[in-house]
Amino acid sequence: ADHSPQVKAFVTQDIPLYHNLEMKHLPGADPELVLLSRRYEELERIPLSDMTREEINQLVQELGFYRKETPDARVPEEFQFAPAKPLPILLHPQAATTDGKTPPKRDKEEHPDL
C-alpha cells in the first residue's frame, strides 16, 4: 500500500518537529497514530490514511504535542513530557517486522523495542 502524499509529507517534514512523536516505519502497513499511556498500554489508534497533512498536524497538536520551530530547537521545560497523557507511536507493528528483532506476536503487553 502506498501512502498518500499528504501522509508522506507529514511523516518526512512534520514529525521531526514534534517532541515525543516517534515514527516506526512498517512496510505495507497503513499509517496509524497509536496512542500509548505512560505504561505503554495502547489507548487508541487513529488511522491517518484518509487525512490531509493539515488535519494530521491539527490532530497531533490537539493531542498536546509540542511543535518545535526547527527539528533541533530546544523544547521548553514544561513541554519535556508533552503530551502529558499518551505517547504515540506511528505505525505500530501488527506482526513481526522484517528485521527479525521482534519476537513472536505478543503485541499487547510487551514493547521489546523500547
| Widest Cα–Cα separation across the chain | 40
Express each pLDDT in 78-105 by its tens digit. Answer: 888 888 655 566 654 454 445 555 555 5
Given a contact cutoff of 8 angstroms between Cβ atoms, the answer to whether 65 and 18 are in contact is yes
pLDDT at 97: 46
SS3 7: helix
SS3 34: strand
Total-model pTM: 0.67
CA atoms within 13 A on the CB side of 13: 10
Distance (Å, rounded) from C-alpha 55 to C-alpha 6? 10
Q: Which domains does the chain carry?
A: 5-79 (3.40.30.50)
Distance (Å, rounded) from C-alpha 96 to C-alpha 85? 27
Cell representation of residue 10: 507529514
Look at residue 11 and tell me whether its pLDDT is greater than 80: yes
Closest to 56 measured CA to CA, from 28, 18, 26: 18
